[in-house]
Structure 1
Amino acid sequence: MNMRAQRAKAVNTLLTLLLLLMLLFGGLGAAHLFAKPQASLTPMLGLDLEGGQQLILEPAVEGGQVTSGQVDQAVNIIRQRVDGSGVAEAEVTTLGGRNISVAMPGTPDPAVIESLQASSRMTFREVLAVESGAPAPKNPKNLPGYEGSSSKDGKASGKESGKGSTGGSSAPATIAEGVWPAQSSPKATDSSKDSSASSSGKDSGKASDKAAPSASASQGSGDAASSPAPTGSDDAQQPAQGDGTPHGKDITIPAAVQKRFDSYDCGTDKTREEAQSAGDDDFVVACDPTGTEKFLLSPTRIEGSSIADASSGPETNQQGQPTGKIAVSLELDGKAADTFADLSAVMAAQPKDSPYNRFAMLLDGEVISAPGMNQVITNGQASITGDFTAEEGKALADQLKFGALPFSFKLQSSEQISPTLGDEQLRWGIWAGVIGLALVAVYSLFQYRALGLVTLASLALAALLAYLAVVLLGWQYNLRLTMAGITGLIVAIGVTADSFIVYFERVRDEVREGRPLRNAVDTGWARARRTILISDAVNLLAAVILYLLSEANVKAFAFMLGLTTIIDLVVVMLFTHPVVTLLAQTRFFGDGHRLSGMNPESLGARRTTYVGRGRVRSLPDTPPTTGTTTEAAL
Structure 2
Amino acid sequence: MATPNTSRPGRALAVFALILVALVGGMFLRGTTEPKLGLDLQGGTSVTLVPRGDAAVTDDNLTQAVNIIRQRVNAFGVSESEVTTQGGRNIVVSVPGAGQRDLVELVGQTAQLRFRQVLQEGGPLPLDAQQPPDPAATPGASPEPTKTAKPGRTAKPDRTPKGTASPDATGEGRVLTRALQAQAVPSPTGEPSPSEPGTPPATAPVQPPVPPVEQDPAAQIPEEAQQRFADLDCTKPENRQGGEDVAADQVLVACDREGSSKYVLAPAEVLGGDVTGARAELSQSTGGLGGWQVSLNFNGEGTRQFADLTRTVWQLPPPQSQVAVVLDGLVVSAPVIQEPITGGQAQITGNFTQEESQDLANVLQYGALPVAFDLGEVNTVSPSLGGEQLRAGLLAGGLGLLLVVVYSVLYYRALGLVVVA
TM-score range, shorter chain: 0.5 to 0.7
* One-letter amino acid matched to 1:343: L
- Structure 1 391/110 Cα, relative in aligned 2: closer, same or farther at 3 Å? farther
Q: Which has the higher contact order (CA 8 A, sep 6+)?
A: 2
The SS at the match of 2:38 is: helix
Tell me the TM-score normalized by structure 2.
0.61
Tell me the TM-score normalized by structure 1.
0.42
Aligned to 2:342: 378
The answer to whether the Cα contact below 8 Å between 1:47 and 1:104 also exists between their aligned partners in 2 is: no
Aligned to 2:397: none
For residues 144-182 of structure 1, give each alpha carbon's deviation from its aligned partner in whole angstroms, at most 9, with x where no partner exists: x9x999xxxxxx999x9xxxxxxxxxx568779x9xxxx
- Structure 1 242/327 Cα, relative in aligned 2: closer, same or farther at 3 Å? farther
- Structure 1 285/344 Cα, relative in aligned 2: closer, same or farther at 3 Å? same
- Structure 1 113/44 Cα, relative in aligned 2: closer, same or farther at 3 Å? farther
Cα displacement (A) at 1:124: 0.7
The SS at the match of 1:276 is: coil
Cα displacement (A) at 1:359: 1.4
Cα displacement (A) at 1:56: 2.5
User: Which of 59, 83, 106 pairs up with 2:97?
Assistant: 106
User: Which of 388, 407, 417 pairs up with 2:372?
Assistant: 407
Cα displacement (A) at 1:417: 4.6
Aligned to 1:548: none
CA distance in 2 between partners of 1:278 and 1:62 (Å) = 13
The answer to whether the Cα contact below 8 Å between 2:117 and 2:313 also exists between their aligned partners in 1 is: no
Aligned to 1:397: 361
- Structure 1 379/369 Cα, relative in aligned 2: closer, same or farther at 3 Å? same
User: Which of 113, 120, 126 pairs up with 1:129?
Assistant: 120
Aligned to 1:339: 305
Aligned to 2:234: 266
Aligned to 2:38: 48
The answer to whether the Cα contact below 8 Å between 1:81 and 1:395 also exists between their aligned partners in 2 is: no
CA distance in 2 between partners of 1:44 and 1:355 (Å) = 55
User: Which of 301, 316, 322 pairs up with 2:289?
Assistant: 322
CA distance in 2 between partners of 1:315 and 1:134 (Å) = 32
* One-letter amino acid matched to 1:342: D
CA distance in 1 between partners of 2:47 and 2:100 (Å) = 16
* One-letter amino acid matched to 2:264: L
Cα displacement (A) at 1:75: 0.7
Aligned to 2:225: 257
CA distance in 1 between partners of 2:242 and 2:374 (Å) = 17
Over the aligned positions, Cα root-mean-square deviation in angstroms equals 4.6
The answer to whether the Cα contact below 8 Å between 2:243 and 2:329 also exists between their aligned partners in 1 is: yes
CA distance in 1 between partners of 2:208 and 2:48 (Å) = 50
- Structure 1 119/379 Cα, relative in aligned 2: closer, same or farther at 3 Å? same
Cα displacement (A) at 1:78: 0.5
- Structure 1 157/129 Cα, relative in aligned 2: closer, same or farther at 3 Å? closer
CA distance in 2 between partners of 1:393 and 1:110 (Å) = 19
CA distance in 2 between partners of 1:337 and 1:237 (Å) = 33
Aligned to 2:329: 365
Cα displacement (A) at 1:131: 1.4
Which stretch shifts more, 310-319 or 407-416?
310-319
The SS at the match of 1:80 is: helix
Aligned to 1:451: none
Unpaired segments of 5 or more residues in structure 1? Answer: 1-38, 150-155, 161-170, 179-220, 426-634
The SS at the match of 2:352 is: coil
The answer to whether the Cα contact below 8 Å between 1:341 and 1:377 also exists between their aligned partners in 2 is: yes
* One-letter amino acid matched to 1:122: L
CA distance in 2 between partners of 1:47 and 1:59 (Å) = 28
- Is 1:291 aligned to residue 291 of structure 2? no
Cα displacement (A) at 1:248: 8.9
The SS at the match of 2:75 is: coil
The answer to whether the Cα contact below 8 Å between 1:345 and 1:375 also exists between their aligned partners in 2 is: yes
CA distance in 2 between partners of 1:65 and 1:364 (Å) = 19
Unpaired segments of 5 or more residues in structure 2? Answer: 1-28, 143-147, 160-166, 187-206, 394-421
CA distance in 2 between partners of 1:274 and 1:48 (Å) = 33
The SS at the match of 2:110 is: coil
Aligned to 1:77: 68
CA distance in 2 between partners of 1:361 and 1:239 (Å) = 31
- Is 1:300 aligned to residue 268 of structure 2? yes
Structure number with the higher helix fraction is: 1
The SS at the match of 1:289 is: coil
Aligned pairs (5 A) from 1:525-564? none
The answer to whether the Cα contact below 8 Å between 2:69 and 2:108 also exists between their aligned partners in 1 is: no
- Is 1:279 aligned to residue 270 of structure 2? no
The answer to whether the Cα contact below 8 Å between 2:105 and 2:375 also exists between their aligned partners in 1 is: no
- Structure 1 356/364 Cα, relative in aligned 2: closer, same or farther at 3 Å? same
CA distance in 2 between partners of 1:132 and 1:104 (Å) = 40
CA distance in 2 between partners of 1:60 and 1:294 (Å) = 27
- Structure 1 289/44 Cα, relative in aligned 2: closer, same or farther at 3 Å? farther
User: Which of 82, 101, 104 pairs up with 1:91?
Assistant: 82
The answer to whether the Cα contact below 8 Å between 2:44 and 2:97 also exists between their aligned partners in 1 is: yes
Cα displacement (A) at 1:123: 1.2
* One-letter amino acid matched to 2:82: E
- Structure 1 227/377 Cα, relative in aligned 2: closer, same or farther at 3 Å? farther
CA distance in 1 between partners of 2:172 and 2:181 (Å) = 22
CA distance in 2 between partners of 1:287 and 1:309 (Å) = 26
